[in-house]
Structure 1
C-alpha cells in the first residue's frame, strides 16, 4: 500500500534524527540541473506530493514548507491541502526565503545541521545557501546524504533508453566542428577543458538524441572535453553498435556514467571550466580547486543560435504542426456542440492528429487544456480526477507542442466555444494586442529580452492587468522546449537576443476561478536593418495556425494591429491550404478571413 505524504515525512524525520540532521532541502532537479527530470530524481514530488516542474521542499523535524512560483500557486495549494506543507509563494510580499525560514524554524537548536544532497543541487545554489545561512546563524551544511536512497521504496531506476544519431541534415554541423568551436570559446576563459552536465547541451554537441526524460529527447550522461580527448560518461547499455561506431569515428571515448568523478580527478589539462549553475555540488568539488574555473558554459549561447539547417527544420516542422492544428481546430467546435467532449478527450484528439504527421517523435510537453476556470491555472494539466466536460460556451485555453525530427513546436491558442462575457472579450483582446506588439518589435543588436518585455504588457498594464510568468523562452531544435540563456520577462535577464535565436511570444491574463487567456507563437530573431545608429533585429513568426477572431473587441485594435493579423492569417492560409482537404481548406479560409 502506498504511503501518504505525511507517512513519508515521518520516515524522513526518523532518518534525520538518526543522522543528526534538523532540516533537509529537496530541489526539483537531477544531477544535471534539468528542468524536467526522470522519475528516479523526482524526490521533491515524492516527498511533498506537488508535481509542478519548479519548486523546493524543506522539511524540519517539526514542520514542512514548499516554495514555488506563480505558475503553480493554484495547483500547489490544491496538492498540498491534506499534508503538513505550508505553501510559500515566491516573489510575493511577505514570503520568506528558504534561508530566513530555516533561521526561524531552527532558532531553538545550537549549531543546527541542514542536509542537501550534493548530487542534485547545483554548486552555485549550495554555495549561496551556505553563505546566507552561516551569515545569519551558526549552521552546518551536510551534502553527502541522499535520504531517498534509504526511504523511497520501489524508487524508479535511472533510465536506460537507447540513444540514437541525430542526422546531419537536421543538425547542420558535425559534432567535431561543434567541439572545435567549444574549445575556441574555452580559450577566452583561459581554460582548456569543460565538464558538460546539461543533458540538452550534451545531445546538441554530439548530435545524439534519446528518450530518458519525458517529452525531452535527451539521455542521462556527462561529457568531459579535455585538451586531447573527449569522453562520454554513460551507461553503455544505452548504446547500439551503430552509435558506438559513430562515437568512435568522432574520436569520443565512452566510460561508465558513475565514473565521471574519477575522470575529473584524473583530468590531464591545466584548467577545467565548470558551470556553477549547471553542475552539481558533488562534481563541482571533486577535483582540486586550483584547477577549476567557475564560469557559465559557452554551449547554451552557441546552441541557442540556430544554423541554416535547423532554421529550415523549424519551418518545415511548423507547417506539419500547423496542419495538425488546423485539423484539430476545424473539428473542435462541432465536436463540442455535439457533446461528450472533455479536457482529456481534446488533448487525446490533438495528440493523435500530430502523431499522423511525418517525422513526429512525441509531444514536447504535457498538453494544457484548460476549460474556463481551469484556463486560469497557468500550468494546469487535466487528470481523470480534475477532467471536466467542455461545453459550447466560454473559453478553452490549449497550450501544446510536438517533437519532430527536424524541430520542436510550442503553441497556445485560446478559443471561444460559444457565448462570452464582455470581460472575456476585453481580456482576450488585451492579450492579443500584447502578442502582436511583441511580434512587431524592432530592437537594437545587443538588447536583451528584459528590455522588450514591456511591449507585450503595455496595453494590459493600462487596464490594471498583468501576468507573473515570463513572456518568452528559447525553443530547442528537436531538443528541450525550454532553452536559454535568453528569455523575455520582467525580471532582469542580461543575455542578448541574437539573430538565429528562437523565442516564444506568450503573454496571458488569468482570473482565478473564472478563465485564462494566452496566445503563443514561436518566433525567430532575424536582421531588420542597419542605420547610422547601428544594426537592428526583428522577428519572423514561425508558428502557423489561425488565431481565433471571434472574441476580439475590434475597436480595441489599432489599424496596425489589424493589419498584422490580416497579413499573418493570409500567410497561414497560403502556406497550409495546399496540405489540407477541401473541407479543411474552406474552414481555414473562413478562420483566416480579413477583419
Structure 2
C-alpha cells in the first residue's frame, strides 16, 4: 500500500504526504468515508497524523493510544509519541531536504492548521502543497465506505430549552461585536445546536453533516432537502431559513457574494474546503466560534434533560451489573468475552425510552487490555474474561442528553496493590467532585491537580486528561471545558457546563483502573461569613454536582486509606443513588442488589 502511494508522488509533484482521518468539518469523530489514515496505516484511534515520505512512514498520536498504535502498526511504520518524540514539523525541519514539497488535502484541513504548518515549514524552505484530489481515494477504490446521510429530526423545544430565533439573535449580537456581516459555521454539532435538529450521519454522534451561513438578515442551511422531516422543514421555514444543497460549490458561491457585502467571520480551526480561494481575502475574520461557549453552558431545560439521561443510564448500568455478576458466578455458564459485554451494554441501554445509540464505542478491557486507554474489543478477537480486573467505559445517546461513565470492577479477589491503586483513583475522583473554588481565580489546570494528588502520594499517575466537556444529545467530547495538566488559554469551566471526572491508573501488562462520572459546574455561596470584614474575600464560588449514579465496587476499596470526609462523601453519593434510582427499578432482586452495593461506611 505504501509503495503504491509513493509511486504517485512524482506525478503529484510532492516529496511526502500528510494523512489524517479528518473530514471537511474537522470533526473529532468522522464518517468512515474519510478514514484515510486508518486505511493506509491500520491504526484506528481517533487522534493521529500520518506522514509518508519517499522511504519512511510515521504515525503521531497522543498517550491514550501509545499501546494501541504499537499493536496496530506494522513494521513499515514508526510510532511517534506526542510529548516525547519530535513533532511532525520539527521532524520535517530536521530530516527533510530543503525545497521538499509536502502534499496535504485542503478539503479536510482547517485554515488554522494549514497556516500553522505552512509557517513552520517555510522557515526551513519546505513547501506545503494543497492537492487537487487525494491519491489515497484511488487506492481505496470501491472498498471505500460511502458517505451515509440520514434523516434529520427535531430536538424538541421542551428539551432544547431555547428557540432557533432566540439563538440566532444571540449569535448575531456576537457578529455585531466582530463587525461581521456574515458568519460561516462548519462544526456540525454547533449547527445542530443552533437549529435544534439532530441526525445520525456519524456513528454514535447525533449530528447532521451540513454547513450553516448566518448573515445579519438571512440564514442558509446547506443540507440535502429530502433528508428533512416535514416537522423540521416547517420549523426551519418559520424561522426563514433557506435550504440549499450540501455541496462545496453552493457554499462557495454564497460566500463569494457575502465577501462583496462585508466582513465574513470564520472559525479558522474548523473551516477548510475553500482555503485556496478565500484564505487571504481582506474581508475574512478568523476567530473562535462563539457558539462553542453558548452550547457548552446548558440552560435549565438542558440540565434537566441531562439529569434524566443519566438516571436512565444508571438504571441500564445497574441492571447490566446485576446480570453480569450473576452470569460470572454461575460456573456452568459459558465464559464471556469483552466483545459480548460491549454488545450487552447496548442491549440494556436500548431498553430505555428515547435511547438513540451509544455515545462512543464501548471500552471493555479485561486484565492487561484495561491498560490500553482506548481499547475497543472486536468480534471474534476479544479476550475471554477471567477472574481479573475489568475496565468498562461506555455511554449512551438519549434524546434528553448524552452520558459517559466508567466503572472498574474485579471478578476475583483483588490484591492489596490493586486495592491501593483503585482507592487512590477514587480519592482523586472525590477530591475533584467536591472541589470549591472562586469563579474568577481558578485555572482548570489547577483542578487537574486535585485528582492527581492521591496518586502522586503513591508515586503513580496517568497520561490522559482528567475531564472533558460533554454535549446534550450531541458529541461526547465538547469544547471548550477541559480539565487537564496543560494550560489552555481558551479553557473555561463555568456554571451550566457538564464535564467528566475521570482519573485513572494503568499498569501496562497487568490492569487498568478508571473511575468516571459526569459532573455539573454550579455556583455556591461561601459557607462562612468573615466576621472581620463586611464581605467575604470572593463573592461567588463554584463547585460540582455529580449526575452519574452508579456505585463503586466495595471489594476494591481499601477502607483504611479513606478519610472520614471521603467516607461521608461516598455515603452521601450512595444516598442520592438510592433516592433517585430505586423508584425507577421494578425488579425486587435488582433493588436488593443495589441496596447491598450501596451500603454505607461506618463513620
Counterpart in the other structure of 2:390: 396
The correspondence for 1:529, drawn from 525, 536, 539, is: 525
Distance apart, 1:286 and its partner CA = 2.6
The correspondence for 2:50, drawn from 45, 57, 63, is: 57
CA distance in 2, matches of 1:383, 1:23: 33
The correspondence for 1:263, drawn from 254, 257, 264, is: 254
Contact 1:111 1:140 in 2 (8 A): no
Contact 2:522 2:543 in 1 (8 A): yes
CA distance in 1, matches of 2:339, 2:594: 25
Deviations 1:1-27 (A, max 9, x none): xxxxxxx22221122221111110012
Deviations 1:119-145 (A, max 9, x none): 111111111111111112343433534
Distance change (3 Å), C-alpha of 1:281 and 1:104: farther
Task: Report the secondary structure of 1:132's partner residue.
Answer: helix
Contact 1:70 1:89 in 2 (8 A): yes
TM-score normalised by length of structure 2: 0.94
CA distance in 1, matches of 2:272, 2:282: 18
CA distance in 1, matches of 2:341, 2:35: 28
Deviations 1:62-120 (A, max 9, x none): 1110000111111111100x34111001112xx1111122234422xx52111111111
Say whether 1:41 aligns with 2:34.
yes
The correspondence for 2:86, drawn from 62, 84, 96, is: 96
Counterpart in the other structure of 2:19: 26
Task: Report the secondary structure of 1:496's partner residue.
Answer: coil
Contact 1:336 1:390 in 2 (8 A): no
Unaligned runs of 5+ in 2: 527-535
TM-score normalised by length of structure 1: 0.95
Aligned length: 582
The correspondence for 1:193, drawn from 170, 175, 182, is: 182
Say whether 1:114 aligns with 2:102.
yes
Contact 1:342 1:388 in 2 (8 A): yes
What is the correspondence of 1:215-364 to structure 2 with a 5 Å cutoff? 215-258=204-247, 259-267=250-258, 269-280=261-272, 282-283=274-275, 285-286=277-278, 289-338=281-330, 339=333, 340-364=335-359
Contact 2:110 2:270 in 1 (8 A): yes
Counterpart in the other structure of 1:170: 159
Distance apart, 1:451 and its partner CA = 2.3
Task: Report the secondary structure of 2:360's partner residue.
Answer: coil
CA distance in 1, matches of 2:567, 2:518: 20
Deviations 1:233-283 (A, max 9, x none): 122332233332222111111111111122211116421111111111634
Bigger Cα displacement from structure 2, 287-296 vs 83-92: 287-296
The correspondence for 2:420, drawn from 419, 426, 436, is: 426
Counterpart in the other structure of 1:3: none
CA distance in 1, matches of 2:167, 2:10: 49
CA distance in 1, matches of 2:128, 2:244: 35
Distance apart, 1:486 and its partner CA = 1.3
Unaligned runs of 5+ in 1: 1-7
Contact 2:468 2:481 in 1 (8 A): yes
Say whether 1:564 aligns with 2:569.
yes
Q: After TM superposition, what 4+ stretches of structure 1 lie above 4 angstroms from structure 2?
A: none
Task: Report the secondary structure of 2:540's partner residue.
Answer: strand
Distance apart, 1:160 and its partner CA = 1.8
Deviations 1:511-555 (A, max 9, x none): 110000000000100111153323110001111111112111111
Counterpart in the other structure of 1:513: 509
CA distance in 2, matches of 1:354, 1:451: 35
Contact 1:116 1:145 in 2 (8 A): no
The correspondence for 1:440, drawn from 421, 434, 442, is: 434
Deviations 1:548-582 (A, max 9, x none): 12111111111111110010011101211112211
Superposition RMSD in Å: 1.5
CA distance in 1, matches of 2:326, 2:15: 58
Distance change (3 Å), C-alpha of 1:140 and 1:307: closer
Say whether 1:372 aligns with 2:367.
yes
Counterpart in the other structure of 1:202: 191
CA distance in 2, matches of 1:388, 1:534: 54
The correspondence for 1:127, drawn from 115, 128, 133, is: 115
Counterpart in the other structure of 2:400: 406
